[in-house]
Amino acid sequence: MPELISGVRVGIDVGGTKTHIHATRGGETIADRVVASEGWLPSDGPAAAAFLAELIGTTVRQAGVDGIVVGAHGCDSARACAVVQEELTRLLPVACLVCNDAELLVPAAGLAVGVGLVAGTGSVAVGRDRQGESVYVGGWGWLLGDEGSASGLTREAARASLAARNRGEPPDLLADLLVRSYQVTEVTDLPDAMAADLGAAGWGSRASLVFDALNGGSALAEAVVREAAEALAGLVAMLATRDVPVDDVVVAGGVILNQRRLFDAFLRELAVVAPSSKVHRLAVPPVHGAVRLAEQLK
């Protein structure tokens, strides 16, 4: 590790596919870098801390660090965050905070209180209750959950296409696009093809097919997007039942920000389950929220 001098605050946003590190000193940017998240293992505290320490050591050269805040994909409980934080503090004995990556959204938007909702590679919603404790909902991963995410949309599109076949309906545009994309003969071949392409990246790369089908008039795609929006709005509603203020909801993630029809459907569903909520589209990289939090560390 290079020799350190004081005054630097480091923010890190670890996503499912890429990691963004941003460092400042006296409010001025001294480093900004995006790398692949390959090697990030949030379930292995020592390995996760080593990943972060290596990234900091190779990015903030000869610049001392006074505070580090990490928003981490896959750290979906207070305990998981605490384990990585303890290991990182052992490697870099400075003030550190590790939280879920969705917790970066509210400070990145310049707010003090609210809900962070991510719908990108995965999906999760995070807020703090009135006692200041973090509350996480969703974020179960591409296999069991992450509704409204890229991988979740592809999974549910395949399920909807298979269910339509069970009902004796002819394949619509959504099924046709999935079959062509996976280079199989018919809808019933999709499970094996998708099993050979397991993972958030593989499934998520085909989420755009759902919106292509939706724009082409697919009734199945319309139902899939509507249900995804309901699920995302439901995450906010669930936080409200757990004493989390939901007056402000900051949304981020490539799917919900880039697919306007999903965003609009989310707004409609949220107005039903949380009518007082105001939605903010995050306009800056989430890592800026990590830097804001790092600047507040003592």
The pLDDT tens digits of the residues spanning 186-200 come to 999 999 999 888 777
pLDDT top residue among 214 and 132? 214
State the pLDDT at residue 252: 93
Q: What is the pLDDT of residue 250?
A: 97
Looking at the fold, whether 178 and 232 belong to one and the same domain comes out as: yes
> Are 164 and 275 members of one domain?
yes
- Residue 141 counted as domain residue: no
131 within some domain = no
According to the model, what pLDDT value does residue 134 have? 85
pLDDT of residue 4: 42
pLDDT of residue 3: 40
Instruction: Express each pLDDT in 262-293 by its tens digit.
Output: 999 999 999 999 999 999 999 999 999 999 99
As a whole-number percent, the residues of the chain with pLDDT over 70 amount to 97
Task: With a cut of 80, say whether residue 2 has pLDDT above it.
Answer: no
In this prediction, residue 63 has a pLDDT band, given cuts at 50, 70 and 90, of low
Same domain, 289 and 258: no
Mean per-residue pLDDT, 136-147: 81
288 and 267 within one domain: no
At 6, the pLDDT band (50, 70, 90 cuts) reads low
Asked if residue 142 has pLDDT above 80, the reply is: no
Classify residue 3: in a domain, yes or no. no
Evaluate whether residue 12 is within a structural domain: yes
In the prediction, which pLDDT does 176 show? 95
**Distances in Å between the alpha carbon of 6 and those of 24, 64, 150?**
11, 4, 41
Q: What is the CATH number of the domain that holds 91?
A: 3.30.420.40
How would residue 46 be classed by pLDDT, with cut points 50, 70 and 90?
very high
Same domain? For 170 and 276 the reply is yes
Dump pLDDT digits (tens) for 228-245: 999 999 999 999 999 999
**Do 288 and 225 reside in the same domain of the chain?**
no
Count how many domains the chain has: 2
CA distances from 111 to 7, 247, 289 (A): 24, 11, 10
Judge whether residue 11 has pLDDT over 70. yes
80 and 165, same structural domain?
no
Whether 181 and 263 share a structural domain: yes
Interatomic CA distance for residues 46 and 69, integer angstroms: 17
Tell me if 133 is assigned to some domain: no
Lowest-pLDDT choice from 13-22, 62-71, 84-93, 262-271 = 62-71
Q: Are residues 194 and 99 in the same domain?
A: no
**167 assigned to some structural domain:** yes
Chain mean pLDDT for the chain? 90
| Residue 122, in any domain of the structure | no
Does residue 142 belong to any structural domain of this protein?
no
- Which structural domain range is residue 14 located in? 8-109+284-296
How much is the average pLDDT of 17-22?
91
pLDDT for the residue numbered 167: 94
pLDDT of residue 1: 36
Element (H, E) at 101: none
∠ at Cα 159 (153, 161), nearest 5°?
Answer: 100
pTM of the model: 0.85
Are 288 and 258 in a shared domain? no
Same domain, 18 and 103: yes
Residue 225 above 80 pLDDT? yes
Could you tell me if 163 and 252 lie in one domain? Answer: yes
| CA separation for the pair 199, 279 (Å, rounded) | 30
